[in-house]
Amino acid sequence: MSQSIFFAHANGFPSATYGKLFAALAPDFRVEHLDQHGHDPRFPVNDNWENLVDELIHHLEVIDEPVWGLGHSLGGVLHYHAALRRPDLYRGVVMLDSPVLTLADRIVIRAAKRFGFIDRITPAGRTLGRREEFADFSEARDYFAGKALFRRFDPECLDAYVRHGLAQGGSALRLKFDPATEISIYRSVPHSTPGRPQQLEVPLALVRGRHSRVVLPHHARLVKRVPKGEYLSVPGGHMFPLERPKETADLLRSVFNRWNERHEGEQVIA
């Protein structure tokens, strides 16, 4: 019987972009997700992503069993915060190139918000003024394929982003993920946390792309404070789940199966 994964996407990338990863996890795992975080008017983006965590918890509460929480970038942080608040909703959490922020990180972020330079330390500055409109899917694919962020994407994942990341808006195709929402998410990156790493009650794995500039060595050291925490690295950069979806699925299957075996062993001992 398949187990439930609840996936949360990176900022600006609708969940359908990750379809090849989801398919590679079947049939052992059933992947559930929201199409786009931050777009439900009941949970508007606010500081420290508190409403986005509320939104995630709201959807987890209607699932009839604890889930494997899986998130990329933004999504990993949302699951981490939700698991600190509601560990009963989780079997465990895997963060795909999502940083567990240190106190020093959070002090810098708080100062950046207060003194107005948050756009310089997050991707918000690069998002401002980005192209939002295209004549057709072919033009959009050619445009994104030429951008450094997308250059190493698996071709099917790039196709999925173009297909699901754009929607008809009048006579042209426009970005489906609201650019203002994307920028707001970057600008409200958390400088506070609902708990300390050592308080996390469920297993946690932080998986870093080896060439990532988002997750850094000091973040890995913090994961060691989690009672059931582990740090893994894989080839690729920050976008490795969309660059190597099959390899990512193989790693996830290995982690979840290992955690299942450990849990069963603990039950036998108990």
Higher-pLDDT residue of 116 and 169 is 116
The residue whose two tokens read 């990993």 is 76
* Predicted TM-score of the model (pTM): 0.96
What are the strands of the beta sheet with 133-134, ordered from one edge? 133-134, 172-175, 166-169
Residue count of the chain, please give it.
270
Confidence of residue 170 (pLDDT cuts 50, 70, 90): confident
The band of 269, judged by pLDDT with boundaries at 50, 70 and 90, is low
Q: Angle at CA 199, nearest 5°, toward 195 and 197?
A: 70
State the amino acid at position 205 in one-letter form.
A
Is the predicted pLDDT of residue 270 greater than 60, yes or no?
A: no
Q: Is pLDDT at 129 greater than 80 in this prediction?
A: no
Strands of 39-162, DSSP E: 67-72, 90-96, 133-134
d(CA 100, CA 137): 36
Q: Which residue would you say has higher pLDDT here, 263 or 30?
A: 30
Residue 154 near residue 160 (C-beta atoms within 8 A): no
- Per-residue pLDDT tens digits for 21-72: 999 999 999 999 999 999 999 999 999 999 999 999 999 999 999 999 999 9
Nearest by Cα to 69 from 242, 203, 262, 214: 203
The domain ranges of the chain are: 3-269
| pLDDT value for 1 | 63
Given a cut of 90, is residue 130 above it in pLDDT? no
**What's the CATH code, domain 3-269?**
3.40.50.1820
Q: What are 184-230's pLDDT values in tens digits? A: 999 999 999 999 999 999 999 999 999 999 999 899 889 999 999 99
Residue 50 has a CB neighbour count (10 Å cut-off) of 17
